Amino acid sequence: MRRPIIAGNWKMHKTSAEARRLITDLKQLVGGAQVEVVVCPPFTALAAAVAAAAGSNISVGAQDIFWEDEGAYTGEISGPMLKELGCRYCIIGHSERRQYFGETNATVKKKVQAAFRSELTPIVCVGETLAEREAGQTLEVCRRQVEEGLGDLTPEQVARLVVAYEPVWAIGTGKNATGEDAQEAIGYIRERLAAMYGREAADKCRIQYGGSVKPENIAEFMARPDIDGALVGGASLDPISFAAIVNTAAED
């Protein structure tokens, strides 16, 4: 039985003071939820977020990681640094990083290895663009991202991994995928993982849907057999809407 996981990707929003306030409010609202709750603030607010979340069931994740543990890489942040701060998760390969910062399946793969080296759980994002969907390439794009970005892992690592299927056209547009479309892609991703690492590991891997998730549509995704939660952008910036998503997912 996979434990659902709802993660909030705050992107480039919230100062440390704002992070502290949001998490303090969130703690009151998601008390005993039966789902794993993760917040991913910007690097600068991670320490404040970890302190604010202490003693609650809210975990903290970073939005990126560099693939080396230390060295002359100006501006980068490594796994040991994130681990020391108290992070447990790390988003890798978000479509905005692929689009604006040149990330590829090859860099995703190196970052996934780095996260596991530092005992951080990667949340690896995959998903097609609108042009790719319209060209009927959705599953092919997901296949490549999974095979190239998630190669050379052990079955044990795959069992701990989180994958987020985020169709690029659904991110920040208010236009979410249907539960049926998301299930099709996510079921396919699980089959690819089973082909690569065995059924047992693939069945343990949690796969989220992301893209315009709101309190009103989370149930549609949670009802699908292969969807284990959500990666939430905009709606995670408000404690009431994020808590509503978490608590609805917990009812499922």
Residues classed as catalytic: 94, 166
Q: At closest approach, how far in Å is the CB of 96 from ligand 13P?
A: 7
Instruction: Map residue 36 onto helix, strand or coil.
Output: strand
Beta carbons of 49 and 25 less than 8 angstroms apart: no
Give the N- to C-terminal CA distance of the chain in Å, as an integer: 13
Among 52, 81, 201, 213, binds ligand 13P (CB under 6 A): 213
If one asks whether residue 211 binds ligand 13P (CB under 6 A), the answer comes out as yes
For residues 107 and 208, which CB has a smaller minimum distance to ligand 13P in the complex?
Answer: 208
If one asks whether residue 9 binds ligand 13P (CB under 6 A), the answer comes out as yes
Separation between Cα atoms, residue 97 and residue 184, nearest integer Å: 25
If one asks whether residue 234 binds ligand 13P (CB under 6 A), the answer comes out as yes
For residues 107 and 201, which CB has a smaller minimum distance to ligand 13P in the complex?
Answer: 107
* Size of the chain, expressed as the number of residues it contains: 252
Among 4, 79, 149, 210, binds ligand 13P (CB under 6 A): 210
If one asks whether residue 145 binds ligand 13P (CB under 6 A), the answer comes out as no
If one asks whether residue 229 binds ligand 13P (CB under 6 A), the answer comes out as no
Q: Buried b / exposed e across 26-49, counting CB within 10 Å, b at 16+?
A: bbeebeebebbbbbbbbeebbbbb
Site string for ligand 13P, 153-182 (x = CB under 6 A): -------------x----xx----------
Tokens of 188: 């396919």
- Looking at residue 44, what DSSP letter applies? G
For residues 200 and 216, which CB has a smaller minimum distance to ligand 13P in the complex?
Answer: 216
The closest alpha carbon to 45, from 24, 28, 20, 25, belongs to 20
Q: Would you tell me which residues interact with ligand 13P (CB under 6 A)? A: 9, 94, 166, 171-172, 210-213, 231-235
